[in-house]
Structure 1
Amino acid sequence: MKNIVLILIISLVLASSASAVQFTEGKEYICLNKPATCEAQVLEFFSFDCQHCYQFEQVYHISSNVKKLLPANTTVTKYHVNCLGPLSKQLTQAWAVAMALGVEDKVSQLMFSAVQNTQSVQTPDDIRMVFIKAGVSPKEYDWAWNSFVVKYLQRQQENAAIDFQLRGVPAIFIKGKYMIKNDGLDMRSIDLYMKQFSDVVTFLLTQ
């Protein structure tokens, strides 16, 4: 009986400690002058032209690994920005194509590699070729590129960047009200960074 009571006490202490994890505004995150949405929403801004975004996504796989640690009902959306590179606007439109066709995961790695590693994306036709390599048919790509849905998604990305007064990427916003401060997280190792990143996001989703 004593052992059972002891186990219950230890469990309560551990649960209390876990729920007591707190983060500080101005250190791990910034609170924006905006109303929070009711949805469990994570919005990430990135650019294929951004080297830090490339490392964030393709080298350390932070986005995909953190996503696995978030609550199941969390909506994670990624928007491309126009502020970097001579083809940034076309790449934003291309990302809208990927969103419309549901091929973000297939396109992301290939596009990052083509832009950052081989520098083989120099024209809009080169962007189109990346989609074809990702398994999208030329006809499907051309239809999507000129579609109303893609034009809408492109404007949505551009307007969101303006609305959040974006200053750089990668940038992550929670519930439309909180922004993660990457420089305020534990950088001693990738594992510690990803764990704290997911903890901060989970914490802010409850605010």
Structure 2
Amino acid sequence: MLHSLLRPLITLSLTICAALSLTAHAAQPGKDYIEIKPARATATPGKVEVLEFFWYGCPHCYQLEPDLLLWSKKLPRNVVLVRQPAVLGESWMTLTQAYYALESLGEIPRLHGHLFNALHNEGRRFNSPESVVTWAATQGVNPDKLKAAFQSFTVHTKANRAKQISQEYRLEGVPALVINGKYLTSPSMAGGYAGALRVADELIAQELKKLGK
């Protein structure tokens, strides 16, 4: 008899606890992420874009990179991760130009992680294009081609555009993830690296639902 009376109460209690748990873990606007107004156009129409703002000199970006890489491999086909160098000061420009110079030579897929590692594990300092060229040569990159890429109009234009984009998003720090040009989250907002990726997952699911995918 007692068990019969308690069973509904236990069921109700478990239901409430489950609901509270879901509420507690749901991403909270203004806390775990902010809404970008007006929303920005993305470079991948028809897909959900995740824009990662980073800077090679940022230790937090370096620490996020392994988790981000694993996470990106599990994304649905209609979700795309786009790396976006951030520029929050003139001292950031050399490494931003390094990204675009290496990209122009098709070397980012191979050397993106190695450049992070050189800075944060090997103690290298890249304060000039020449220092990057010298290091890249040890990685099998043609120094003359990389030097020419650094000096190219295209690389300078992209680096200046990166600075402009950072300002347009009112970026205050890195790493940061922008979901579909509408929402910005970061480890500092979401309580850590795993938290930022969890929030990104929720916002991605929300955007996919809007796209009917």
Corresponding position: 1:78 with 2:86? no
In 2, the alpha carbon distance for the partners of 1:181 and 1:194 equals: 5
Q: TM-score, normalised by structure 2?
A: 0.72
**Consecutive unaligned residues in structure 2, runs of 5 or more:** 1-24
Corresponding position: 1:92 with 2:82? no
Instruction: Name 1:179's counterpart in structure 2.
Output: 184
Q: Percent identity?
A: 25
In 1, the alpha carbon distance for the partners of 2:95 and 2:49 equals: 24
Corresponding position: 1:143 with 2:148? yes
Question: 1:198: Cα distance to partner?
Answer: 5.1
- Which deviates the most, 39-48 or 168-177? 39-48
In the alignment, is the contact (CA less than 8 A) between 1:80 and 1:95 conserved in 2? yes
In 1, the alpha carbon distance for the partners of 2:186 and 2:59 equals: 18
Q: Which amino acid aligns with 1:25?
A: P
Counterparts in 2 of 1:32 and 1:56: CA distance versus 1, 3 Å? same
Instruction: Name 1:129's counterpart in structure 2.
Output: 134
Question: 1:120: Cα distance to partner?
Answer: 1.9
Pairwise CA RMSD: 2.7
Aligned pair partner of 2:202 in 200, 203, 206: 200
Q: Which amino acid aligns with 2:75?
A: L
In 1, the alpha carbon distance for the partners of 2:29 and 2:153 equals: 40
Counterparts in 2 of 1:64 and 1:35: CA distance versus 1, 3 Å? same
Q: Which amino acid aligns with 1:199?
A: D
Question: 1:108: Cα distance to partner?
Answer: 1.9
Q: Which amino acid aligns with 1:94?
A: A
State how many pairs are aligned.
180
Question: 1:91: Cα distance to partner?
Answer: 0.8
Aligned pair partner of 1:53 in 53, 61, 70: 61
Question: 1:117: Cα distance to partner?
Answer: 2.2
In 2, the alpha carbon distance for the partners of 1:54 and 1:140 equals: 27
**Consecutive unaligned residues in structure 1, runs of 5 or more:** 1-20
Counterparts in 2 of 1:122 and 1:98: CA distance versus 1, 3 Å? closer
In the alignment, is the contact (CA less than 8 A) between 1:97 and 1:150 conserved in 2? yes
In 1, the alpha carbon distance for the partners of 2:201 and 2:60 equals: 21
Instruction: Name 1:43's counterpart in structure 2.
Output: 51
Question: 1:163: Cα distance to partner?
Answer: 0.6
Corresponding position: 1:170 with 2:172? no
In 1, the alpha carbon distance for the partners of 2:95 and 2:78 equals: 29
In 1, the alpha carbon distance for the partners of 2:202 and 2:138 equals: 37
Q: Which amino acid aligns with 1:148?
A: F
Question: 1:31: Cα distance to partner?
Answer: 0.8
Counterparts in 2 of 1:201 and 1:51: CA distance versus 1, 3 Å? same
In the alignment, is the contact (CA less than 8 A) between 2:54 and 2:174 conserved in 1? yes
In 1, the alpha carbon distance for the partners of 2:87 and 2:182 equals: 22
Q: Which amino acid aligns with 2:201?
A: D
- SS for the counterpart of 2:140 is coil
Segments of 4+ in structure 1 off by > 6 A? none
Instruction: Name 1:28's counterpart in structure 2.
Output: 32
Q: Which amino acid aligns with 1:128?
A: V
In 1, the alpha carbon distance for the partners of 2:158 and 2:166 equals: 13
In 2, the alpha carbon distance for the partners of 1:122 and 1:145 equals: 13
In 1, the alpha carbon distance for the partners of 2:39 and 2:126 equals: 40
Q: Which amino acid aligns with 1:63?
A: L
